[in-house]
Amino acid sequence: MNIGIDMMGGDFAPLEAVKGLQQYILQQNNAAVNIFCIGEATTIHSLLDEHAVASPLLHVVHAPEVIGYHEHPTKALKEKTNSSIAVGFQLLASGKIDAFISAGNTGAMLVGAMFSIKALEGVIRPTIATITPQMSGNISLLVDVGLNADCKPEHLNQFALLGSLYAKHILGVENPRIGLVNVGAEEGKGNMLAQATYPLLKNNKSIHFIGNIEGRDFFTNKADVMVCDGFTGNVVLKLAESVYDIAQFRGIENDSYFQRFHYENYGGTPVLGVAKPVIIGHGISNAKAFCNMLLLAEKMVASDVCGKIKDCFSAL
């Protein structure tokens, strides 16, 4: 197994990326995982030596350029072919690595995922998902959380299936319950998108649809996968992220439940519906977040979740 990590992406990279590698190596159970550290080689080697991060499974790939957060994604990928993100996708597309993670320019990561790796056959639009902590101690998946702001009913129908497959093979939920985010629980509620999506989900034999869920249900374990358009999902995501900030401000961030709202616990966001695992991290990713991104990438490759999604859509 070979995993590529963009060492230069993120507000605190490459230092926090190196520290994340250190944490990952200390808890790594699978000795067969090679990590390709992509970025400015001299800087990376220096930090690896400084923090005594050493392993025969670490390989530094020189990429002297960096795509900044404010650069146009498509233009930057075309013009900066030696950037850490561009080189990462070159390695992924050529099969030299099996998964690629970065906390760098989100737009560039999405463009690379959709045009270098491409969507699986049958997938209309790839999507991104995030974990939402439940009061019961379980976790649920919210999809889409920002990749597709404007959606059609058939998009949400596919998001439900993609989320269901991810929940089953990565989160370990045997028969994931799918809920449609809406303003009321009754069938027929909502705007035109919700009303048109409901019968598609209801008739989709590949998922376990339980009906509509409301905002009050997000953290009550009513559904394992919550489906909405990316505009709504991103608003919910940012609201959920603020919960930890509020808890911190109130001095209760050590509460076991509120701690689970911290982004670092989940590492990054997977792009679902593309041919290979691509994981996008938060721009402010710290060592723990980088470590968890590596663990998630390892799990996605080991479970062959992308292959299982491909098989499911091929069968349909």
> Residue type for 227, please?
V
Q: How far apart are CA 247 and CA 249, in angstroms?
A: 5
Mean predicted confidence (pLDDT) in 265-279: 92
Q: How far apart are CA 260 and CA 265, in angstroms?
A: 7
How confident is the model over 28-55, as pLDDT tens digits? 766 689 999 999 999 999 999 999 998 8
DSSP 71-109: S-HHHHHHH-TTBHHHHHHHHHHHTS-SEEEESS-HHHH
Q: What is the pLDDT of residue 29?
A: 64
Contact 101, 6 (CB under 8 A): yes
Which ranges constitute the DSSP H helices of 95-229?
106-112, 153-169, 192-202
Show the domains of the chain with their CATH numbers: 1-120+273-304 (3.40.718.10), 124-263 (3.40.718.10)
Categorize the per-residue pLDDT at 207 as very low, low, confident or very high, splitting at 50, 70 and 90.
very high
Q: What is the pLDDT of residue 30?
A: 63
Q: How far apart are CA 250 and CA 152, in angstroms?
A: 40
Categorize the per-residue pLDDT at 264 as very low, low, confident or very high, splitting at 50, 70 and 90.
confident
Q: What is the pLDDT of residue 267?
A: 83
Categorize the per-residue pLDDT at 151 as very low, low, confident or very high, splitting at 50, 70 and 90.
very high
Residue 32, Cβ density class (10 Å: 0-12 exposed, 13-18 middle, ≥19 buried): exposed
Mean predicted confidence (pLDDT) in 286-311: 94
Mean predicted confidence (pLDDT) in 248-273: 87
How confident is the model over 70-129, as pLDDT tens digits? 899 999 999 999 999 999 999 999 999 999 999 999 999 999 998 898 899 999 999 999
Does the pLDDT at position 263 exceed 90?
Answer: no
Other Cβ atoms less than 10 A from the Cβ of 200: the count is: 16
How confident is the model over 122-145, as pLDDT tens digits? 999 999 999 999 999 899 999 999
Q: Which of 227, 289, 295 is nearest to 27 (CA)?
A: 295
Q: What is the pLDDT of residue 199?
A: 97
Mean predicted confidence (pLDDT) in 3-26: 94
Strand pairing of 99-102 and 225-227? unpaired
